[in-house]
Amino acid sequence: MANDTVTERTPGPADPGPEPGRELGGAVAGPDRSDGPVGPAGPVGPAVGDPVGTATAPTDPDAPERRRAPVTRFALAVVRTFARDMAVFFSVPVRELRTRKLMAIPCTLLCVLTIGVLWILEMNRPHGLAFVLDVAGVRQGEPIWKLLPQLPLSLFAPAPDLPAWGAMTQVLIAFGIAECWLGWKRMIMIAMITSAVTSMAARVMVYASNWLHIGTPQIDNFQVDTGPSVAVVSLLIYLALRLRTYWVVALTAVSMGGEAAILPNLAGREHLVAISLGIITYFLLDRWWPAWKRRRIQRATSD
């Protein structure tokens, strides 16, 4: 075929083909924003094992605590503080009794033994009872010169309205804890002084009843005022304030205040006096006395 001519094409640029990420007849596939959050270097996919399109929220460890009701949170806080106070209050006595056994509380055991001896003498009537009343039977109607020699042993004579085993149990627990924390010297000093001051306060209440018609009834002039309960209360209040175990302070004060309200007798009023003496003893021995010593040392070093 003569008229047919062969037309040579000039080779053009090669067909680049479909762009990366584009299929024939499709649109350009951009970053799918639903796959995950976009990071500084590009999109970040979902974590392994998570369904596509869900983002993992950070966990808050305090979220369950905040979701509790206010009453539940308050109850848990009360339980925690009570458990902490009890753990602190009994920590040293438990440790001392484990390591030293009964030798950790020798003065307490002697006090318990003294109560037992006076109780046995009281049971031997009439001579034993008369002897105990002569050496330890404090009565507010007696002259002061006869009352003062009876004050030391009145701490260990069983109270008329408390069984002897109750007094011995009180002393064993309260005196034992105080002896482990404070030592036997400070323990017996606080017990003796608070017992004597409480008896003097009861005498003042009797005088107030005679002169001002207030205070304790006239029948209390002839009531035997003995027993270790006031010393127990003072020691517990002082030691609990010293250790900052305020649950012990609250339980002791509420129980003694309730007793004074339900049974308004001489013993109940003396227990209220013992609470105040425990507080005063704490401020005297643990606040004012150390502060006075520090000021004295500072003045001596500055001169």
DSSP per-residue letters across 213-246: S-SS-GGGGGSB---SHHHHHHHHHHHHHHHT-H
Domain assignment of residue 202, yes or no: yes
| Dist. CA 35–CA 55, nearest whole Å | 9
Q: Tell me the three-class secondary structure of 249-287, residue by residue.
A: HHHHHHHHHHHHHHCCCHHHHHHHHHHHHHHHHHHHHHH
Domain assignment of residue 21, yes or no: no
Res 161: pLDDT: 75
Domain count, the chain: 1
Res 266: pLDDT: 82
Angle at 129 between CA 128 and CA 131, to 5 degrees: 65
Res 263: pLDDT: 81
Strands annotated E in 49-206? none
Domain assignment of residue 180, yes or no: yes
Distance in Å from the first CA to the final CA of the chain: 135
Q: Is there a contact between 201 and 270 (Cβ–Cβ < 8 Å)?
A: yes
Res 117: pLDDT: 93
Res 176: pLDDT: 96
Q: What CATH number does the domain containing 257 carry? A: 1.20.1540
Domain assignment of residue 48, yes or no: no
Domain assignment of residue 31, yes or no: no
Angle at 71 between CA 66 and CA 72, to 5 degrees: 60
Question: Domain span at residue 238?
Answer: 70-285
Domain assignment of residue 16, yes or no: no
Q: Which of 265, 241, 266 is nearest to 253 (CA)?
A: 241
Q: 236 CB contacts (<8 Å, ≥6 apart)?
A: 174, 178, 248, 252, 278
Domain assignment of residue 292, yes or no: no
Res 246: pLDDT: 95
Res 251: pLDDT: 95
Q: Which single residue is written with the structure tokens 């584009």? A: 22
State how far the alpha carbon of 205 is from the alpha carbons of 5, 97, 216, in Å: 144, 41, 6
Low-confidence ranges of the chain (pLDDT < 70): 1-68, 212-219, 303
Domain assignment of residue 188, yes or no: yes
Per-residue pLDDT tens digits for 25-70 = 444 444 444 444 444 444 445 555 555 445 555 565 555 555 667 8
